[in-house]
Chain A
Amino acid sequence: MKIDRRMFIGAGLATGASWALGNARAQGSQTIRIGHITDMSGVYRDVEGPTSVACLRQAVEEFVAQNPDIKVEILVADHQNKADVGLGIIRRWFDESDVDVITNVGNSSVALGAKTLIESKNKVALISSAGSSDLTGKSCSRNSIHWAWDSWCLAHSTATSLVKSGGDKWFFVTADYAFGHAAQADAAKFAELAGGRVLGSVKYPYGSTGDFSSFLLQAQSSGANVIAFANSGADLINCLKQAQEFGLTAKARLAAMVGYITDVLAMGLPVAKGLTLTETFYWDLNDRTRAFQKRIAPKLEVGVFPNMSQAGDYSSVVHYLKAVKELGVSRAKSSGLEVVEMMKKMPTDDDCFGKGSIRADGRKIHPAYLFEVKKPEESSSRGDIYRLIATLPAEEAFRPINSGDCALIKN
């Protein structure tokens, strides 16, 4: 059913996209073209989608205001979470629309599938919403940079910190597909390394009917003091809602392996309170992040706060355009590889992630933050939802460069 619905919407969007492409072609070739490929209609619409487009526009507007001589254009398309649809659009952008860089690119299947294409066309990929740490490991590419977060970073931060604070008996509720398995395996490994034990897990079929009470009862009777959810989006929200209902929080802490501020806002603090999760960006971290939120707010719907992926779209494009300016537009357009190398040479600095750098394997590094969701009575405004529990410095937040199996490092 979902597939057909998406095909239906996809057909409409494809028509819109081709119109935009036609327009883009008609203009001069000394323009930097950014192709933003994301989920505009499916399950990840809220964690990527329109807010990620707003963040990208913010980055471009700020750059163009200071550098009016450099022209930048944005194209937006919906990959509908299908690798083949995403690849088709990216190929057309490169072949017909003179696109120089693709942004967002989530989910992982689209990002992994696009690797060869991006390398063969010598373009740039700035990946901010795909989670697989393979993107800077086995599947690393000299033409792409993985920006905001990855699965290794989140599992490592959440699992290690929770065990340290006494959460040593784990039970996993896991979505039964590649992402869920990987998230569980990573987190279990870090929990055990830190001295914790995994008491059990239950794998439920992806695309279930939204009732998780059976699985939650199993988690409850296991005696675990950490119940970890290796799922995301609507499944995670329903799990937490029902966990509160069945009183699981009385004896255990709940942890999300991948959770965003967008999920927490959607379920509300009465449901999310006490949840532990890791993000690499939060609007209320410091003066710079608050300044960013103030600038971006007019572009967003009321009550929306960007998550780490969406902030990654802002940050990655800010840095990309700096590198373009350094190289000059025509050189940047002729070689994506040169732009990426320039980006790796320059230190990164923006309001969302502060100062940071890009490693040789294409991993952008910055600190990761372990948050606990506040109780409703502790929150002073809609966006005031996290309490910072621990900060992992940039050097520790991501997988050590030598253990990822990235071919760029061996050579």
Chain B
Amino acid sequence: MQALYAQLLVGLINGSFYALLSLGLAVIFGMLNIVNFAHGALYMMGAFCAYFLLNIAGIGYWPALVIAPIAVGIFGMLLERTLLKWLAGLDHLYGMLLTFGIALIVQGVFQNYFGSSGLPYAIPDELKGGMNLGFMFLPVYRGWVVVFSLVVCLATWFLIERTRLGAYLRAATENPTLVRAFGINVPRMITLTYGLGVGLAALAGVLSAPINQVRPLMGADLIIVVFAVVVIGGMGSIMGSIITGFALGVIEGLTKYFYPEASNTVVFVLMVLVLLVKPTGLTGRAA
């Protein structure tokens, strides 16, 4: 029974990464209608950014939590301005292909310069060590990841669903022409939204750097699972992707305990089941 509690907690920790990443994807899809396959590569860039900040500029983990998402977010906005904006109004397939291509190029370039084994990034001193919970040894850093990502997820949800800015955004998605008529700069909002989604991916990258090796393909392995999370939660649904992210982390954790061989596939089996029963995802609305 104790082992089960431990696995539940570990699942929750993994779920917080899924939630952060799928939230970024959901924001981008919900507001821009772009299926962002470059998300994993941008997550990886966030982790690399933290590494460079530490090893080149001597800037530690805490400032990196702010600087890396902004830096990678700016890169994302440049991508949107120079490449993605030309695809507005076209079929989803074009956006998917373009972002997939960008991911391949970015990962290839990083692989060429930094190798396949990756680079080490240590846990910040303040978050080292762990505590004995009785049923397991919980590293302090993992506890921090759960709490911090939950706060970020809820803040993002609040920003989009409960503020005036969020209302403009949602309106601009529904009817860009009408919103423009009110004097709101819709293209700039779209660029900023893409930047926000990308920043969330980079933030997840910084959070992940101390526990996963910083390596070029770290996002490529993760992104497929995260897409399944978004599909299960309902494409574009903010709260849906947060809840599904945490829930699937827990389900995956339990699978790792009861039948580890299936832990990679359980998310996709669930995805198939959900699509069969409710094609719009658990919290999605029909188009």
Contact = CB atoms under 8 A, between A and B. Distances in A.
Interface of A: 1-2, 4-5, 8-9, 41-47, 49, 176, 202-205, 207-211, 213-215, 217-218, 220-221, 233-234, 237-238, 241-242, 245-247, 262-263, 266-268, 270-271
B137 interface: yes
B139 A202 contact: no
A215 B258 CA distance: 11
B20 to A, nearest CB: 14
Nearest to A268: B120
Scoring A208, A214, A267 by chain B CB atoms within 10 A of each residue's CB, the highest score goes to A214
A203 B260 contact: yes
B98 interface: no
A217 B253 CA distance: 11
B156 to A, nearest CB: 22
B116 A267 contact: no
B209 to A, nearest CB: 11
Interface in B87-116: 104, 107-108, 111-112, 115-116
A237 B212 CA distance: 9
A213 B13 contact: yes
Scoring B137, B220, B224, B256 by chain A CB atoms within 10 A of each residue's CB, the highest score goes to B256
Contacts of A245: 123, 130, 139, 141-142, 211
Interface residues of B, number: 48
B141 A217 contact: no
Contact of B3 (A41, A210, A221, A262): A221
B224 to A, nearest CB: 7
B122 interface: yes
Interface stretch (B175-183, B198-206, B261-269): B261-269
Nearest to A245: B139
5 contacts: A49-B115, A204-B263, A208-B221, A214-B256, A221-B2
B3 A218 contact: yes
Given A8-B104, A204-B263, A214 B10 contact: yes
A211 to B, nearest CB: 5
A-B pairs with lowest CB-CB distance, top 8: A266-B117, A214-B256, A205-B264, A268-B120, A45-B116, A46-B117, A46-B115, A213-B10
B119 interface: yes
B118 A266 contact: yes
A202 B116 contact: no
Tell me the interface secondary structure of chain B in the complex: helix
A234 B218 CA distance: 9
A215 B212 CA distance: 15
Contact of B130 (A203, A221, A246): A246
B136 interface: yes
A237 B118 contact: yes
Nearest to A247: B137
A241 B213 CA distance: 8
Contacts of A214: 7, 10-11, 253, 256-257, 260, 263
Contact of B213 (A1, A44, A266): A266
Contact of A237 (B111, B117, B123, B139): B117
Contacts of B223: 1
A2 B265 contact: no
Given A5-B104, A203-B260, A207-B264, A266 B115 contact: yes
Contact of A238 (B130, B139, B213, B264): B213
B178 to A, nearest CB: 39
A247 B131 CA distance: 10
Given A8-B104, A245-B123, A266-B115, 12 more contacts: A2-B220, A217-B136, A221-B6, A234-B215, A241-B212, A245-B211, A247-B137, A263-B117, A266-B118, A266-B213, A267-B213, A268-B120
Contacts of B141: 245
A210 B221 contact: yes
B222 interface: yes
Nearest to A174: B260
A1 to B, nearest CB: 5
B192 interface: no
Contacts of A237: 117-118, 213
Contacts of B282: none
Nearest to B128: A245
A375 B6 CA distance: 30
B119 A266 contact: yes
B225 interface: yes
A217 B6 contact: yes
Nearest to A45: B116
Contacts of B123: 245
B97 to A, nearest CB: 11
A371 B262 CA distance: 35
Contacts of A202: 260
Given A8-B108, A217-B6, A234 B118 contact: yes
Given A176-B261, A210-B212, A215-B256, A246 B116 contact: no
B220 to A, nearest CB: 5
Given A4-B104, A241-B212, A245-B211, A208 B264 contact: yes
Scoring A4, A234, A271 by chain B CB atoms within 10 A of each residue's CB, the highest score goes to A234
Given A205-B261, A217-B7, A241-B211, A45 B256 contact: no
Contacts of A215: 256, 260
Contacts of A208: 221, 263-264
Contacts of B150: none
A209 B221 contact: yes
Contact of B14 (A205, A211, A217, A238): A211
B270 interface: no
B130 A42 contact: no
B217 interface: yes
